[in-house]
Structure formats: C-alpha cells, structure tokens
Amino acid sequence: MNIEWVIPCRFVEVHDNLATIVGGGIDTLWVPELPAPLQIVLCVRLTGMPEELTEDQQHKAVNRVRDPSGTVISEMSGEFAIGVESTRPDWLVGISLPTAIQFEAPEEGTYTIDHMVDDAEYSIPMHVALGQP
C-alpha cells in the first residue's frame, strides 16, 4: 500500500472513485483566538495491488498531530475496508478517500499532520496563525 498524496481542502466528495476537490492546497489556518479548535478536510489517494484492496480486508488508518516543537499532541487510529476493481489483474489500483481531522491548537506555529495507512506514511505541514489573513 502506498499513499500517493494527501490534499487539505475546503470540500471533497468522491463518486465512482473520482474526487471532486474544492479549495485544495490549504496550508494556513487563521484563528481569532488561541487555543483554537481546528477542522481540516483531507482527500487521500491510496494505491496498492488488487489483492490489497478487497472488501474483506481491513486496513488500519492512523492520524497523528504534532505541535510546532515536533511533540506528538494526539494520535488516533481506525479501521476501514474497501474493494476496488482492477483494470488488469496485475495493475496497480487506486482509491480516493475523503477524511477529516479535528484538533485543538494551543499556540501559533507550524503543526504536522501525519497520516498513515498500514505501513505507508504521509506528512503535511499546517500553519496556524493568529489573526485575519
């Protein structure tokens, strides 16, 4: 399994395994006060061999948030299963997944969101700024 990309965005929906992403590329969240509860929508693209993405196979997804100093402030995990039809039996298959995270930022700075699926890992920076853009 591989995480091809993770896109923070304002809106995502997936139909027929195709993602409609609106406002993709968010890297900064402006907040009126701190600490601030924050919510981010992510679109995650996974690829794997056809035998890795079947309806009877559970995958572990882990989401970790690190503060500006790199300290892990929260880590959570859940399980999911998805069956994907392959074009050819030996070709890679891909799946687009809408995901969301909510966390509380106690201070201004650059946070890191680590998203893991099984052994694959992908990290994105997210700036938290006090004030208006």
Partner 1 sequence: MQTPVLVFDHIRKTVTTFQPGPKLNELLASSASVATSGRPKKT
89 binds partner 1 (CB under 8 A): no
Letters for 42-71 (x = contact with partner 1 by CB under 8 A, - = none) are -------------------x-x-x------
Report the half-sphere exposure of 99 (CA within 13 A, side-chain side).
25
Binding residue for partner 1, selected from 48, 67, 96, 122, defined by CB under 8 A? 96
Smallest distance, Å, CB 17 to partner 1? 6
Binding residue count for partner 1, defined by CB under 8 A = 49
Residues that bind partner 1 (CB under 8 A): 8, 10-11, 13-17, 23, 25-32, 36-41, 61, 63, 65, 73-74, 76-78, 80-85, 95-104, 132-133
